[in-house]
């Protein structure tokens, strides 16, 4: 980070008051240029975590949202962008100031009970989510008649080779390429010629679809909420910030990185809803999952169906990479193993062993699971994730208010009000979500 530091020092120097207009303009341009270079050097964790948030499960959720409610819920997804930013931005500050990952921070601050609870819950959720990513990837590739076993083996090889470079930088740049592939849906949104009036109405005027707030709509809103903020994201981004070596002075750019990621994730979600709302809108018989959506789009446009399938595969791959790393980092931090992507396999054997163990086991189990068991795993992941989320968020806010550790980077009063409101909303909604998942007919009209 030495070069980054030098660039930062230069960019922060004030212009000479005696400069003429042209000199000031040149100085401003040079400063912006350097700031941009600095941002590009620091950017990564925020964009990756936010784009990876649109994983295979997320794509399915957005597909169903579009197919059931057309553009009526676009405003809700747009609102979720700032919520995700506010939560993830805290991990940037915490990681940059403490130089500790989220798991280690919870262990040190709250002791072993909460530490083990968070770690084991994270590991279980991550592993089950990995299975759902593999399910998504195999389903996407089955559209191209690729057998599941071949997909799983190729994913093992790709994910394995991505992290074996021994450099965080290399891993990050490869992952950013996969993030760019995630934007593959954007051209499809223009190709389907959606109604601009519907998009504007759905985005700018908060309203419920015709029929009002029903049990199914509530379930869908919560599913969208659950895919936007997930527990692994907190662990991943904080550990990633630490592994990258970001410092207190990089927090400003880390926040911008997270904000850019939040915008990208919302854009992807909105585009998916527009495409599915235009092509697959059928509230009476909605689409079951993203792979089915891709198949249904093939007769209308082979290009859109193909891009949809590629996007689903990419989303699953991106999610699997990040989720697997989140667990490996967490274990490394807590057990005191060497746990950096800057280490070679020989230097951090346990870290890499856990990553591969997680990867191989999730892939192998996916191949063994039958249809009903896959549905069970997918549902169970949602319930466990909603259980961990309130706990993880409460810990995050308490940690961000610890003046002894955070110094001048503690939450301000307004940040606490905003974050506490988010946590309360999440606790209330996720509890309802978990209850309605377990008892689907509890709130149904009799």
Partner 1 sequence: MNAFFKMSTAIGKVPTAVFKSLVSQVRQVNRRYDKPEIQLTGATKVCLFVLRIYLLAMIALMGYFLVQQVRAIGSGS
Give residues in contact with partner 1 (CB under 8 A).
Answer: 107-112, 114-115, 117, 334-336, 372-373, 376, 379-380, 383-384, 386-387, 390-391, 394, 398-399, 402, 404-405, 427, 431, 434-435, 437-438
Residue 367 contacts residue 148 (beta carbons within 8 Å):
yes
CB of 132 to partner 1, least distance (A): 15
Residue 231 contacts residue 392 (beta carbons within 8 Å):
yes
Q: Please tell me the chain's helix, strand, coil percentages from 3-state DSSP, rounded to the nearest 5.
A: 80, 0, 20
The smaller minimum CB distance to partner 1, of residues 116 and 303, is found at 116
d(CA 20, CA 304): 54
CB of 230 to partner 1, least distance (A): 16
The smaller minimum CB distance to partner 1, of residues 45 and 57, is found at 57
The sign of the torsion formed by the CA atoms of 320, 323, 326, 327 equals negative
CB of 376 to partner 1, least distance (A): 5
Non-local (6+) Cβ contacts of 33 within 8 A are none
Residue 226 contacts residue 385 (beta carbons within 8 Å):
yes
Q: Which helix (H) or strand (E) holds 360?
A: helix 349-368
The smaller minimum CB distance to partner 1, of residues 25 and 439, is found at 439
Neighbours of 117 (CB within 10 A): 14
The smaller minimum CB distance to partner 1, of residues 308 and 433, is found at 433
Q: Which stretches of 73-195 are DSSP H helices? A: 74-98, 102-110, 112-142, 148-163, 168-181, 186-191
Residue 397 contacts residue 411 (beta carbons within 8 Å):
yes
The smaller minimum CB distance to partner 1, of residues 208 and 357, is found at 357
CB of 391 to partner 1, least distance (A): 6
d(CA 91, CA 255): 10
The smaller minimum CB distance to partner 1, of residues 191 and 435, is found at 435
d(CA 291, CA 324): 23
Residue 94 contacts residue 227 (beta carbons within 8 Å):
no
Tokens of residue 398, six digits = 């308490």
Tokens of residue 284, six digits = 């009476």
CB of 399 to partner 1, least distance (A): 7
CB of 386 to partner 1, least distance (A): 8
Beta-carbon-side half-sphere exposure of residue 57 (alpha carbons within 13 Å): 30
The sign of the torsion formed by the CA atoms of 30, 31, 35, 41 equals positive
The smaller minimum CB distance to partner 1, of residues 119 and 267, is found at 119
The smaller minimum CB distance to partner 1, of residues 153 and 398, is found at 398
The smaller minimum CB distance to partner 1, of residues 322 and 400, is found at 400
The smaller minimum CB distance to partner 1, of residues 114 and 208, is found at 114
CB of 58 to partner 1, least distance (A): 22
CB of 294 to partner 1, least distance (A): 27
Residue 350 contacts residue 337 (beta carbons within 8 Å):
yes
CB of 234 to partner 1, least distance (A): 16
CB of 407 to partner 1, least distance (A): 15
How many residues can be counted in the chain?
A: 446
Q: What is the SS3 assignment for 129?
A: helix
CB of 409 to partner 1, least distance (A): 16
The smaller minimum CB distance to partner 1, of residues 79 and 373, is found at 373
């Amino acid at each position: 980070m030495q070069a980054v530091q030098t660039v930062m020092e230069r960019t922060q120097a004030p212009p000479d008051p005696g400069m003429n207009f042209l000199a000031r303009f040149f100085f401003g341009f040079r400063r912006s240029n350097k700031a941009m270079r600095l941002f590009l050097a620091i950017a990564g964790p925020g964009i990756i975590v936010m784009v990876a948030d649109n994983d295979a499960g997320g794509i399915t959720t957005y597909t169903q949202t579009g197919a059931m409610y057309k553009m009526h819920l676009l405003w809700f997804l747009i609102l979720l962008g700032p919520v995700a930013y506010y939560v993830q931005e805290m991990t940037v500050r915490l990681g940059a100031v403490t130089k500790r990952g989220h798991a280690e921070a919870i262990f040190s601050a709250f002791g072993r009970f909460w530490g083990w609870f968070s770690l084991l819950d994270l590991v279980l959720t991550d592993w089950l989510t990995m299975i759902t990513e593999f399910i998504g990837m195999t389903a996407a590739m089955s559209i191209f008649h690729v057998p599941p076993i071949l997909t799983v083996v190729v994913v093992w090889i790709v994910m394995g080779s991505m992290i074996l470079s021994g450099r965080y930088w290399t891993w990050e740049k490869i992952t950013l390429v996969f993030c760019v592939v995630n934007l593959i849906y954007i051209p499809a949104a223009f190709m389907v010629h959606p109604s601009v009036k519907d998009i504007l109405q759905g985005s700018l005027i908060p309203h419920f679809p015709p029929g009002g707030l029903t049990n199914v709509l509530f379930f869908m809103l919560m599913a969208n909420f659950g895919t936007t903020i997930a527990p692994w994201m907190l662990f991943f981004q904080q550990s990633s910030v630490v592994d990258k070596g970001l410092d207190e002075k990089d927090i400003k750019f880390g926040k911008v990185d997270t904000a850019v990621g939040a915008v990208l994730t919302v854009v992807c979600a909105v585009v998916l809803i527009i495409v599915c709302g235009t092509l697959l809108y059928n509230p009476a018989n909605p689409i079951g999952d993203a792979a089915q959506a891709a198949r249904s789009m093939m007769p209308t446009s082979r290009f859109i169906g193909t891009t949809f399938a590629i996007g689903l595969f990419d989303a699953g791959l991106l999610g699997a990479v990040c989720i697997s790393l989140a667990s490996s980092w967490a274990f490394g931090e807590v057990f005191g193993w060497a746990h950096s992507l800057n280490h070679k396999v020989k230097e951090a054997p346990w870290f890499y062993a856990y990553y591969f163990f997680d990867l191989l086991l999730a892939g192998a189990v996916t191949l063994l699971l039958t249809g009903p068991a896959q549905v069970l795993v997918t549902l169970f992941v949602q319930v466990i994730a909603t259980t961990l989320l309130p706990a993880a968020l409460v810990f995050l806010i308490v940690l961000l208010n610890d003046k002894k550790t955070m110094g001048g980077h503690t939450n301000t009063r307004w940040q606490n009000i905003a974050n506490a409101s988010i946590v309360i909303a999440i606790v209330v909604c996720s509890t309802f979500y978990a209850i309605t998942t377990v008892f689907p007919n509890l709130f149904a009209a009799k």
